[in-house]
Amino acid sequence: MKIAEVEVKENYLLKIEGLKKHFALSANIFGKTTKSVKAVDEVNLYVKKGETLGIVGESGCGKSTMGNTILRLIEPTEGKIIFEGRDLLKLSPKEMQKVRRDIQMVFQDPFSSLNPRMRVFDVIAEPLRTHGISKGKELEEMIYGLLETVGLDRSQADRFPHEFSGGQRQRIGIARAIALHPKLIICDEPVSALDVSIQAQVLNLLIKLQKELQLTYIFIGHGIPAVKYISDRIAVMYMGEIVEMASKEKLFSSTKHPYTLGLINAVPVPDPTLRDARERIIIENDIPDQINVKEGCRFYSRCPFGTDKCKTEKPSLIEVEEEHFVACHYPLT
Amino acid sequence: MSEKLLEIKGLSTHFFTENGVVPSVNNVSFDVNKGEIVCVVGESGCGKSVTSLSILQLINKPGRIVNGEILFKGTDLTKLSEREIRKIRGNKISMIFQEPLTSLNPVFTIGNQISETIRLHQNVNKNQAKMKTLEVLKKVGMPNPEKQYYSFPHLLSGGMRQRVMIAMALSCNPELLIADEPTTALDVTIQVQVLRLLRDLSEELQTSIVLITHDLGVVAEMADRVVVMYGGEIVEQNNVFDLFSDPKHPYTKGLLNSTPKIHQLDDSLESIEGNVPTPANMPHGCKFNTRCPFVMNKCREEQPPLIDADNGSEVRCWLHLEKEAVSS
């Protein structure tokens, strides 16, 4: 069954259908786009309540663009984003503003995503004030509570962001995101800019908060180890498309797409005894030109198993086992 | 007994800023043997990059090497004049940086930049330099070198640019290559290609490599010996197999435990509490005492020395000294 035909089920919090975002590069004299970068091209996926869906892919695969389109921070070209039964792309700006209460974001760079002129207190208070949740004494208590929830001290509320380290800033970003009790948090590479020992702290904090507040996460990352650690299900993106989506266990134990396998094999294993013992499929070459995308499977130019069919015919994302989707003519066994 | 190529003895590099002295690197000593890959691992601000820059005398003001010797085949690099060190840079010792785009000159073709290095250090004419450039480009796996010779850096992808940097670094057959986070800016599928290339070249040409990294996965993949740094000091030094199977310093243990293991399904992840201290607010005594789960009173009062442990390893921890006292 193609993923596009999967029905919206009761426990789906979010379902994305046929999402596209093409950035126009040039147009002819009538204003019609002639050249474009297909940053996101036909993305279909669903997120269940209370789970973490990890999205991995290399730089330029469109994962961050996709994250931004969900909140309509970037307007998508085409597609449906169904959140709790409503298509977000059909909402008016006012209605969209209300939805943003339920969907929050944590950004990659904790140095540029916090306003340097605002005190930590105001950074966290801003969403609460914007949505008119609380004010005065009550607001103060809420913010101190939030700071403690993310492992900071209430005495730090009057400081400015530059006084904090990267990990602490990311905690502030998380406090801001959970302030409104959202249903869904989109984490866009929240640990990529942090040191290894601090990464683990932030990942463990996210997991703790998920349990306590019944949150649902979309966790975007380029490092498979971190995504693997936090996710229940994982979707692998390559050049604007999802090539494989499955539960974490299935994705690693019965990998179906050659790209996924190459990606897993490329991660250096922190165990020197396995250095030469591992048999590896290594993907050669680089990501091809993203402007003049050739027909057929996008991975064809780097795939060790490509055939003539792959060159001409594009595979669609199909359910090969229960909840294991893959876009490949010849899935691995 | 293998030949020592580089010996760093008691290196201290300090930065004299308006707000006081920042001791970025303190009393760091390690050796690099011929053909060996030594990985220096640590988190941001631990002094690993400053150490690597100190080797080639690339520390700018307000920084200065205040103490120590850097012996390269017996010659102390810290004593050389600017003219003499320039003969060594790019020739006998070369360096690869993290961000290949900023390390390449955008207005010259890559062929031009590589042959410049060759002509500077070797007595060859233009044509011979070009032939050598093509040869070295081929060696680093650059597809279609004749055509790429005339490309400008911005036309190449990140992985290809890093190959150009490696080609440039290897163009004069250096005896030592210093690679400062060479793959951090690259995607994993490209990283594995670049790492494999470095290892093959090291084996083939017997080039020693000092690899600076924060990624223990990269260390496990590449190193013969590992130097772990924290707060500007070496906290542990050992061969790669013993370091991973039997880490001695609590920081090394913490670092290993907080690295997600992709090859195991059971994945609990422990973290090291607290934050990396900045050079301005280094704690008294052992630098790791604010984050160490085994901290004792002594750790807060007195800085532990680097202690020789078994099999030529070294560790800087009071805990280890006590263990030895009990067993002897």
pLDDT tens readout for residues A114-148: 999 999 999 999 999 988 888 889 999 999 999 99
Instruction: Give domain status of residue A89, yes or no.
Output: yes
In a domain, B209, yes or no: yes
Q: Both tokens of residue A57?
A: 């892919």
CA distance A129 to A127: 5
Chain B residues lying within 8 Å of A201, measured CB to CB: 271-273
Residue A279, pLDDT > 90, answer no
Asked, for residue A333, whether it belongs to a domain, the answer is: no
Same domain, A229 and A134: no
The confidence score (pLDDT) of residue A306 equals 86
**How far apart, in whole angstroms, are the C-alpha atoms of residue B192 and residue B177?**
18
Q: What is the dihedral of CA B124, B126, B131, B135, to 10 degrees?
A: 70
- Look up tokens 């899935």; give the residue: A331
Determine if the peptide bond prior to B62 is cis (ω within 30°): yes
Distance from CA of A263 to the nearest CA of B (A): 6
Residues A59 and A170 in one domain: no
Q: What is the pLDDT of residues B224-269, one digit of tens each?
A: 999 999 989 999 999 999 999 999 999 999 999 888 877 666 667 7
Asked if residue A220 lies in contact with residue A188, where contact means CB atoms within 8 angstroms, the answer is yes
C-alpha span between B99 and A117 (Å, rounded)? 30
A290–chain B Cβ distance below 8 A for any pair: no
Q: What is the pLDDT of residues A208-219, one digit of tens each?
A: 999 999 999 999
From B15's Cα to the closest Cα of chain A, the distance in A is: 21
Do residues A60 and A203 both lie within one domain? yes
Residue at token pair 């140095």:
A111
Reading the block at residue A69, the tokens are: 């389109």
Residues A171, A199: Cα–Cα separation, whole Å = 11
pLDDT, position A274: 83
Instruction: Say yes or no for a CB contact (<8 Å) between B276 and A197.
Output: yes
Chain pair A-B, CB pairs under 8 angstroms: 128
B149 with B31, same domain: the answer is no
Q: Does A287 touch chain B (CB under 8 A)?
A: yes
Kindly list the residues from chain A whose CB atom is less than 8 angstroms away from the CB atom of residue B257: 200
Name the helix (H) or strand (E) containing A129. Answer: helix A120-130
Chain B contact probe: residue of A271, A274, A285 with most B CBs at under 10 A: A271
**What pLDDT shows up at residue B238?**
94
Q: For residue A326, is pLDDT > 90?
A: yes
- Helical (H) or strand (E) element with B14: strand B4-17
Same domain, B109 and B67: no
Rounded distance, CA A93 to CA A71, Å?
11
Interface probe for B, chosen from A234, A286, A302, A303 (most Cβ of B below 10 Å), is A286
% of chain A beyond a pLDDT of 90: 53
Q: Is the pLDDT of residue A33 over 80?
A: no
CB atoms within 10 A of CB A194: 23
Straight-line distance from the first to the last Cα atom of chain A, in angstroms, rounded to the nearest whole number: 18
Structure tokens at A121: 């207190």
Q: Assess whether B215 and B143 both reside in one domain.
A: no
CB A197 within 8 A of CB B43: yes
Q: What integer best gives the mean pLDDT of chain B? A: 88
- B188, A195: Cβ pair inside 8 Å? no
> Do strands B20-33 and B176-180 pair parallel, antiparallel, or not at all (unpaired)?
unpaired
- The helix (run of H) or strand (run of E) holding residue B208 is strand B208-213
Distance CA B314, CA B304 (A): 12
Taking the C-alpha atoms of residue A287 and residue A301, their distance in angstroms, rounded to an integer, is 9
- From B272's Cα to the closest Cα of chain A, the distance in A is 5
Out of A229, A252, A266, the one facing B191 most closely (by C-beta) is A266
Sequence letter at residue A284? E
Residue A251, pLDDT score: 93
Statement: residue B2 has pLDDT above 70: no
B221: which chain A residues are within 8 Å (Cβ-Cβ)? 268-269, 272, 275
Tokens of B165: 């940097």
Q: How far apart are the first and last CA of chain B?
A: 29
Residues A58 and A206 in one domain: yes
The span from the CA of B292 to the CA of B295, in Å, is: 5
pLDDT exceeds 60 at position B1: no
Helix ranges, chain B (H)? 48-55, 82-88, 100-103, 110-121, 126-139, 145-148, 158-170, 188-205, 216-222, 240-245, 250-257, 297-301, 318-327
Give the model's pLDDT for residue B109.
Answer: 94
Check A222 against B187: CB less than 8 A apart.
yes
pLDDT of residue A40 exceeding 60: yes
Give Cβ neighbours of residue B292 (< 8 Å, ≥ 6 apart). B250, B251, B286, B299
CB contact under 8 A, B215 and A253: no
Q: Chain B contacts of A274, Cβ < 8 Å?
A: 220, 263
Predicted pLDDT of residue B265: 61
For chain B, say whether A198 makes contact (Cβ under 8 Å). Answer: yes
- Identify the CA nearest to A206 among candidates A106, A69, A65: A106
Q: Is A199 part of the contact surface with chain B (CB cutoff 8 Å)?
A: yes
Q: State the complex-level ipTM.
A: 0.82
Enumerate the residues of chain B whose CB falls inside 8 A of the CB of residue A165.
Answer: 275-276
Residues of A in contact with B252 (CB under 8 A): none
In angstroms, the Cα distances linking B92 to A250, B86, B105, B165, B170 are: 50, 10, 22, 16, 9
Is the distance from CB of A52 to CB of A247 less than 8 angstroms?
no
Q: Which of B217, B258, B265 sits opposite A249 (nearest CB)?
A: B265
* Same domain, yes or no: A201 and A272: yes
Question: B59 lies in a domain?
Answer: yes
Cβ-defined contact of B263 to A262 (cutoff 8 Å): no
Q: What is the pLDDT of residues B154-187, one digit of tens each?
A: 888 888 888 899 999 988 889 999 999 988 878 8
Q: Which residue of A has its CA nearest to B243?
A: A272
Mean pLDDT for B188-203 is 87
Residue range A256-278: mean pLDDT, rounded? 86
B184 and B267 together in one domain:
yes
- Please answer whether residues A241 and A66 qualify as being in contact, where contact means their C-beta atoms are separated by less than 8 angstroms: no
Closest residue on chain B to A261 (Cα): B189
- A231: containing domain: 3-102+180-326
Q: Which of A10-19, A52-61, A100-109, A287-296 has the lowest mean pLDDT?
A: A287-296
Residue type, B111: G
- For residue B243, the domain's CATH number is 3.40.50.300
Chain A hits for B215, Cβ within 8 Å: 196, 268
Q: Using a CB-CB distance cutoff of 8 angstroms, which residues of chain A are in contact with residue B99?
A: none
Q: Based on the domain organization, do B165 and B88 belong to the same domain?
A: no
CB-based burial of residue B254 (10 Å sphere; 0-12 exposed, 13-18 middle, 19+ buried)? buried
Contact A223, A230 (CB under 8 A): no
Say yes or no: A243 contacts chain B, CB-CB below 8 A: no
Tell me the sheet residues that pair with B16. Answer: B21
Provide the residue range defining the domain that includes B167.
103-171
Instruction: Identify the CA nearest to A200 among candidates A167, A176, A223.
Output: A167
Looking at the structure, tell me whether residues A171 and A136 fall in a common domain: yes
Number of domains in chain A: 2
The residue of chain B nearest to residue A272, with distances taken between CA atoms, is B220
User: Quick check: B77 and B85 in contact, CB under 8 A?
Assistant: yes
Q: What is the mean pLDDT of chain A?
A: 89
Last residue of a domain, which of A179, A195, A218?
A: A179
Radius of gyration over alpha carbons of chain A, in Å? 21
- Among chain A residues, the shortest Cα distance to B260 is held by A225
